[in-house]
Structure formats: C-alpha cells, structure tokens
Structure 1
C-alpha cells in the first residue's frame, strides 16, 4: 500500500486550490443559508479540465481515477465550495460508463453546462420503467439537470424536465443546496443494480470533503489562537488550548489515513467495505470533535453565523451524517466482523 500522491493528484489538487482561492469568497458564497451552487465557478472548473474526470476515456475523458477525484474533493472541502463535484463526477461518472449515456449526460457536466444529483434510499417504486415516489433533502437537486434515482428494481437516470418531475428547493444547515424530489409516473433509463456503488462512492467522497473542511478549520483555529490574547497572553500559550489543538490534529490525521486506505483499496478493485466504514466513522466522530473545537477556541466569534469559521462548523456537521453517522458505521463494522463474507 503506497500513500504517496500521484503526480496527477498533486497537479489536480494544486490547480483546484488556486481556482477556488480566486473564485470562492465571502461575496460569492453569499450570506449564511443562501447559495448552494456557483454556476460561474462550475464553468471555471470545467475550462481548467478539473471536470474531465467525469468522462470515461472512451468519450474523451481525462483518465482520472478515484484517487485524483478525492484530491479534488479535499480542496472543495477546504474552500467549502458550492460545487456539485461529488454527485456529478465521483458518483454519476462511476456508473454512466456506457458511451451513449456518457455522451448524453456526462459530456455536459465536463463542460460545466450540467449538474447531476443522486437520490438514494427514497421511496421510489418503478413500474415498467416509470417511477413514482418522493425523497427529501437530495443534495444539489435544486440545480440538477438530471437525477440518478434508486428505485425498487434498479437505479434510473431521470431528466429534471421529464413529465411528472417536481423539485422544490430546501435549505440545509450550511447552504440551500438540496431539494424535495417528487416523481409521478416519470420515465427513466435503467442503469442496473448500481445503488451500492453509488452509496460507497458517496460515503468515500464525503470523507474526502470532510478532510478538507477539518484541515482548514484547524488551520484557521490554530492561527486565531496564535493571535488572540486573554489575560495578556495569547490563547495558544494555555496548556488546555494546546491539548485541544493537539487532539484535533490527531483526529484530522486519522481521517486522512483512513480515507486514503479506503480510496486506495477501491481504486485497486479490492474489497473495501470495512475500510470505507472505518473512514466514514472517523469523518463523523472526528468531524464532530474538530468542528466543536474550532467553535469553542474561537470564543464568541465562533457562534457568529457570518464568521468564516461557522461555515466550516456547519459543513462539518452536515458531512458528519452523510451516509450515516459514527454509530451507524460501527454497526456496519460489527456486521462485517460477524459475517465477513456478507
């Protein structure tokens, strides 16, 4: 197992960080609770080639794999960027491998002209290729041009403007980047039994974004405690503060290690159910601790929803529960220990 970053990972990471540093500001994000999708940013990412990872090489894709995609997601987390890279590229790109489907749905994504959303675990029922049901809080569905929907017999791709589709925007804890999706006798294209693949990719992608969020939140907090004074001493000089920061650093490194272990095994086609659950456990448990550490050590400004650190707190809390929180991951790990071949 080699955790050294590939040249492509390093280049994509550096490029994405430069773009997000230029494009994602307090003004572009807007006030807390607004936004959710930055269309101009999506276009810039496309022009830079970052979104080429959505395409299979058969239709002109960049040949990037899961490891490179995780490197991009870490940078998106660091910037708390309103970019639907996880559902549109990491999840959808892994199942829309048929050249005709890729050309229809992924090519516009790679050009920054389209957004795909993923709706798993809803109440959708399919009858003769037509779907009926509903699901709440589907990430990026409010801006989606198509949705990958898990139904009773298959995953389907459904155009957002298809008959019987109703999408109502909803606000989440950090941005208005979700929607209530209702389908009524809506036609879809069956993709087969790929729900678990989408679910695993979604969980791993959430871990990668969480790593970026926590990494940057810790940097901001460490910088603040080096400057802020209490009782004529900088906060960082107090032993309790140093211990809290040290614990947070260990948590961030645990997220990093378990993320890359799971991502590497998946990229190599190896069984990775336990590794993904372990990574998601740390993303949830450590995410909770680091998010609260950032707020607590910032003191009064930490609870100001307009302060930058609050965006990281809200993002970390949302990502904590994507794909199931820490307890859910421990239960999954317990099942794998009892029935390792299940």
Structure 2
C-alpha cells in the first residue's frame, strides 16, 4: 500500500491552490453571498482555462486520463479556499460517469463539462429516504421511453445545470437517467442551506424521457448508482479535509496571536489540548480518505474504507468545526469573519451524504455481510 502522492496529484493540487487562493478572497466571498445562486464563475473559468476540469476526465472525452486520486487532490484544495464551484457534482461525478458509461451523445456532454462550457450535476438525495441506493423516485416504461415521477433534494447547482443525472426505480431495478432540467414537468426550486451554497429541490411530474436518456443500460443502473454514491462520499470527504486543514491553520494562528493575561491563549493547557485533539482529528480524516481513495484507484473492495472515511469527515468534522469557533471566542460568532464560513462549510460537509451515525450504520452492514 503506497500512499505517496502521484506527480499528477501534486501538480494539480498546486495549480488549483494557486488559482483559488488568488481569486477567492474575503471580499469575493462577500460578493457571492449577495448572488442568487452563489456560483463563482470567475474561478470556474480560470480552472477550465488552466485545464484542471478536464485533467481528471478520461482521454476518450478529451481529458487527461487521471482518476480518483487526482479528483481528491483538486477537491481538497477547493475545500481549503471554500471555492464556490461545482467540481464535485459536475466533473468528479456527472462528467466522469457519462464518460465511463454514456453513449457518444452523452459523452459529448462530459467533454463540454471538461472545458467549462456547460455544468452538469447529480441528484442523489431524497427527502425521508435513508437508502440512497434504493430511490423512491420512479421511472415507468412507456412506448419508446419513460415517465419520471418524484423529487430530489439538495441538488447542487441545479439552477445552472444543463443536464442532471437522476437515479430512479424501474420495474427492472434502479436506472440512471440524464434529464434536461428545462423539460416539461421538471420544477427547480432553490433551497436555503447551511453554507449558503447553490442547491435546489428538483421535482419531476410525469416527465417524458426517451430511451436515449438512460445512462448505460437499465441492467447497469445499480452499478452506476453505487459508483456515484461511493465517489460522492469520497469527494465530500476530500472537500471536508481541505476545509478542516485550513480552519485548523487559522485557529492555530489565532491562538498564537491572541493574548490574555499577557500570554498567548494557545499557551493555556485547555486551549492547547483542544487544538491537539483537533490536529489528531484532521490527521484521522486525511489517513482515512487516503486509504479509501487508494483502494478505489486500485479497484479493491473499498465500501468499508469509504464509509470509515465519511464517518471521520462527519464525526471529526463536527469536533474540529466547534473547536475552531470556541477558541476564537466572540470573533468566531461574527458571521462576517472568515472563520465562520469554515464552520458553516464543515457543517454542510458533515451531513452531505449522511451523518456520522448513518455512516456507522452502513459500515456495520458491510462488516456484518463480510464472511468471518
């Protein structure tokens, strides 16, 4: 097991960090807070021009041919700067899936996403449904096509996406459909989420789809959905790692600079112990993520490792986020202070794809099904 970053990982991470740190400033964040959908088009186009978006897509759609390890490197850097761009849903999930399983017409969407020309997204979450691998949304077969009915929640950048990957139950099992959000019967309603990100409820009222909207085949649907859910968990963990790393750096700097009783507050035992615990938590997230991504890269069984990584992202993320706020004191409660944004981002990442308790439940199911 070799956890040494690949050259591509290091290069993409450095390139992404250089672009994001230059463009994502506190002033820019405040500008985005006032926008309707909180999307940083300047950053997105800069990443596209630099080749970051296409680098991790297969060569078959004009990409650089890199994979999950490089995806996590980019996402980690975007998490550090809280970049308001849909790299995870558009590139790491939707475009990657279409490139792998789609027909030539669908792969063209992936190619266009890699150039930044269009934005894609995925709709994986449903209200009161704790089994994302078994969607409630249904697609009933008709002559030459399907009728799609149901609703998805917290769909990223749905207001800007030109196509949405939608898993739905069919009489023959789960299938994944490529849906036009402007099609008759589709309603997109923006949601207010904890980190003020761009997410929406997407409702489908007897939406007519033709057979060409199926990604891959109906038979391949469960495998495609499992791949989406797995990579979504790993991707959100990578975002969380970057967010926690930067938040820990910020609170460490503050603890060295802020004085009380003529001493830096970081010299007090209680504060130092809490920061030490946060440091260990971040290390745990980093190690769990690296192991999960490496096993995926090597095509090894990885469900337990993925659930472990997502558990660390949620559980440790909760502790670190609260420690950052508490050590900052009243400053951390100022919604205009940069550290507060990191708290909100960490809370969003904590629950994206299921809470810590949900990850333990899924991990327990995996372990129970593993032969002794």
Q: Same fold (TM over 0.5)?
A: yes
In structure 2, the residue matched to 1:298 is: 328
- Whether the 8 Å contact between 1:76 and 1:212 is mirrored in structure 2 is yes
Is residue 235 from structure 1 mapped to residue 235 from structure 2 by the alignment? no
**Of 199, 208, 216, which residue of structure 2 is paired with 1:178?**
199
In structure 2, the residue matched to 1:115 is: 119
Q: How does 1:240-251 map to 2 (within 5 A)?
A: 240-251=270-281
In structure 2, the residue matched to 1:146 is: 163
Q: How does 1:5-44 map to 2 (within 5 A)?
A: 5-30=5-30, 32=33, 35-44=37-46
**Of 56, 66, 69, which residue of structure 2 is paired with 1:67?**
69
- Whether the 8 Å contact between 1:262 and 1:275 is mirrored in structure 2 is yes
- Whether the 8 Å contact between 1:33 and 1:172 is mirrored in structure 2 is no
> More displaced, 228-237 or 290-299?
228-237
1:92-143 Cα shifts (integer Å, max 9, x gaps): 1332123514543112211212111111143421122231211222122122
In structure 1, the residue matched to 2:370 is: 340
Is residue 203 from structure 1 mapped to residue 233 from structure 2 by the alignment? yes
**Of 142, 145, 148, which residue of structure 2 is paired with 1:131?**
148
- Whether the 8 Å contact between 1:55 and 1:102 is mirrored in structure 2 is no
Give, in whole Å, the separation in 2 of the partners of 1:325 and 1:243.
Answer: 26
Following superposition, the deviation at residue 337 of structure 1 comes to: 1.9
In structure 2, the residue matched to 1:50 is: 52
> More displaced, 269-278 or 172-181?
172-181
Give, in whole Å, the separation in 2 of the partners of 1:121 and 1:169.
Answer: 15
1:170-215 Cα shifts (integer Å, max 9, x gaps): 1211124101101122244112411111111101101000000000
In structure 2, the residue matched to 1:162 is: 183
Following superposition, the deviation at residue 33 of structure 1 comes to: 7.5
Give, in whole Å, the separation in 2 of the partners of 1:38 and 1:244.
Answer: 34
- What TM-score do you get using the length of structure 2 for normalisation? 0.88
In structure 1, the residue matched to 2:132 is: none
In structure 2, the residue matched to 1:2 is: 2
Following superposition, the deviation at residue 324 of structure 1 comes to: 1.0
Residue 99 and residue 15 in structure 1: after superposition, are their counterparts in 2 closer, same or farther (change >3 A)?
A: farther
Following superposition, the deviation at residue 43 of structure 1 comes to: 0.9
Following superposition, the deviation at residue 54 of structure 1 comes to: 5.5
- Whether the 8 Å contact between 2:57 and 2:96 is mirrored in structure 1 is no
Give, in whole Å, the separation in 2 of the partners of 1:230 and 1:211.
Answer: 31
- Whether the 8 Å contact between 1:37 and 1:143 is mirrored in structure 2 is no
- Whether the 8 Å contact between 1:38 and 1:83 is mirrored in structure 2 is yes
- The secondary structure found in structure 2 opposite 1:55 is coil
Count of residue pairs the alignment pairs up: 341
RMSD: 1.5
Following superposition, the deviation at residue 36 of structure 1 comes to: 2.6
In structure 1, the residue matched to 2:110 is: 106
Task: Name stretches of at least 5 consecutive residues in structure 1 with no aligned partner.
Answer: none
- What TM-score do you get using the length of structure 1 for normalisation? 0.96
> More displaced, 199-208 or 185-194?
185-194
**Of 190, 201, 204, which residue of structure 1 is paired with 2:214?**
190
